[in-house]
Amino acid sequence: MARHLITSAIPYINGIKHLGNLVGSQLPADLFARYQRGRGNEVLFLCATDEHGTPAELAAAKAGKPVAEYCAEMWQVQSDIAEGFGLSFDHFGRSSSKANHRLTQHFAKKLDEAGLIREVSETQMYSKADGRFLPDRYIEGTCPNCGFDSARGDQCDNCTKQLDPVDLINPHSTISGSTDLEMRETKHLYLCQSKMKDQLEEWIDTREGWPVLTTSIAKKWLNDGDGLQDRGITRDLDWGIPVQRGDEPWPGMEGKVFYVWFDAPIEYIACGQEWVEAGKGDDWERWWRTDKGAEDVTYTQFMGKDNVPFHTLSFPATILGSGEPWKLVDYIKSFNYLNYDGGQFSTSRGRGVFMDQALQILPADYWRWWLLSHAPETSDSEFTWESFQSGVNKDLADVLGNFVSRVTKFCRSKFGEEVPAGGEMGAEEKALIEELTRRVRTYETNMDAIEVRKAATELRAIWAAGNEYLQAAAPWATFKEDPDKAAMQIRLALNLIRLYAILSAPFIPEASDKLLKAMQTQDATWPDDVAAAMSALPAGHGFTVPENLFSKITDDQRDDWQARFAGTRD
């Protein structure tokens, strides 16, 4: 049994996320976790909310609530939505947890002892109107690298270049909008990433098979311009993890907190501790410490491309710099962006479909299938209502749903609600099993490699193979001349429904569960032997006809939703 540690990039606490956020990390991570569990492997799948930094403070202020109260409420909202989408986290934690406080302060002490933290006196933006320093996302302006006019004080979302607030052109406060800013002196701690450049580059070079998107971004940050720069890890904020050396005060750092991008990745490990504290597990160290059993764990991270620099450089620098035997990531699956109907998703303009809205319109499986089968792996992709309608109607309703409906209803009408016996399989059935065997092995290869779109294409082809067989075999016609042969054909088709349920579970878990229940079996053993799987339901085994698996999206529904979620056009 293999062991897989899987983490999804942790979403910011400030509001409900859109479909692009979902397909960029949490959803493909869930796909992989469900697949590995289905193969009989041991999985620990962790995620959490990212609750510190300026996004939380700004969102809480806008909501008129204390930041701690706001974060607690939004954690519950995000947890409920994740459950609605069938995201099978073993634990969904919080970066504001006591465990993350302890661990972040522990790492800071270890890095300081290793000579990898230095104190810097520097000047930072200060807003007279707001009466405070403006780090990170409290400042927006024009990116000096690409000219994007909404770059943040920590990073440009357009070109992904790492920035400091002082780099921005025409900066303004995101709190008040004020441009009355001045530079004032303050002290901060810096992580000496430059000292670790060679070690990080050597480590990255040992990672096998990383996506080109991941390695290209990491290498660019390592070698672009002056190379890897030291990075501030503290901020002048009220909300966050207090700056301490372990459980000791840090002289001169009173009233400051750790930078959110320092503590947020550490939450992956802390989330494992929370998992144990919540009574869901009994040993987090065997997943996270190589001296406690994690040496045989395969650790995979999922994230959007904007998160890659911190996960390939800053977080590994923290882990490696500590000198302790922590588990490092083996594979980073990064994604490009999902755009929306000719533009971008926009919270401020109400443009696009957000996760809570999606679940109000249609069940999760509709969205899961389209998003994963159109995952933005090699380039940005685009959600359009026409494409969504086509994917649901042609793939889910016409191919999978139609097959299940025709087989079960025909069997009930001619043989009753149990698997008929029939005779021996013929050449057509053996040819189908051979094709399915090839396709299932290809499907496994794609899933093992986390080639999401290729896996979805192969799964659809597996569904289509059953439809093509059914159309050619035509048991409704065969029944008139040879009822015994028709019974054999339907017996095969009913077993094929069970096979579909097992193979489809990572993509559409709710429909998979319905199919297993309809086939009156909870035996979802992975089909290592496809031929054997085609006889798993013996003659006489009962079944029920499931309700319509998938309803088609009408043109009127499509047009209504397209208008409803158009928002304010750019």
With a CB cutoff of 8 Å and minimum separation 6, the contacts of 150 are 140, 157
* CA dihedral for 284, 286, 290, 291, sign (positive or negative): positive
**φ, ψ at 318 (rounded to 5°):** -65, -45
Q: What is the largest CA-CA distance in the chain?
A: 92
What are the residues facing 50 on neighbouring strands? 12
User: How far is residue 542 CA from its own chain's centroid?
Assistant: 38
Q: Which two tokens stand for residue 143?
A: 């990116």
Q: Where do we find the tokens 């357009």?
A: 158
Rounded CA gap, 246 and 109, in Å? 5
SS3 state of residue 122: strand
What DSSP string runs through 509-561?
HHHHHHHHHHTT-------SSHHHHTTSS-TT-B--PPPPS-PPPPHHHHHHH
State the binding site.
143, 146, 156, 159, 347
What DSSP string runs through 241-267?
-B-EETTEE-TT-TT-EE-HHHHHHHH
With a CB cutoff of 8 Å and minimum separation 6, the contacts of 25 are 8, 9, 11, 302, 303, 304, 307, 335
With a CB cutoff of 8 Å and minimum separation 6, the contacts of 17 are 11, 78, 354, 355
- In terms of C-beta distances under 8 Å and separation of at least 24 residues, what long-range contacts does 506-509 make, across chains too? 506/30, 506/31, 506/32, 506/34, 506/35, 506/38, 506/447, 507/31, 507/365, 507/368, 507/369, 507/372, 507/373, 507/456, 507/459, 508/365, 508/368, 508/369, 508/396, 509/34, 509/86, 509/88, 509/365, 509/368
Strand duo 42-49 + 3-8: pairing: parallel
With a CB cutoff of 8 Å and minimum separation 6, the contacts of 9 are 24, 25, 26, 301, 302, 303, 304, 307, 311
Q: What is the 3-state secondary structure (H, E, C) of 336-388?
A: CCEEECCECCECCCCECCEHHHHHHHCCHHHHHHHHHHCCCCCCCEEECHHHH
Angle at 432 between CA 416 and CA 409, to 5 degrees: 20
Q: Which two tokens stand for residue 12?
A: 């910011």
State the binding site for ATP.
347
Side chain identity, residue 536: A
State the binding site for Zn(2+).
143, 146, 156, 159
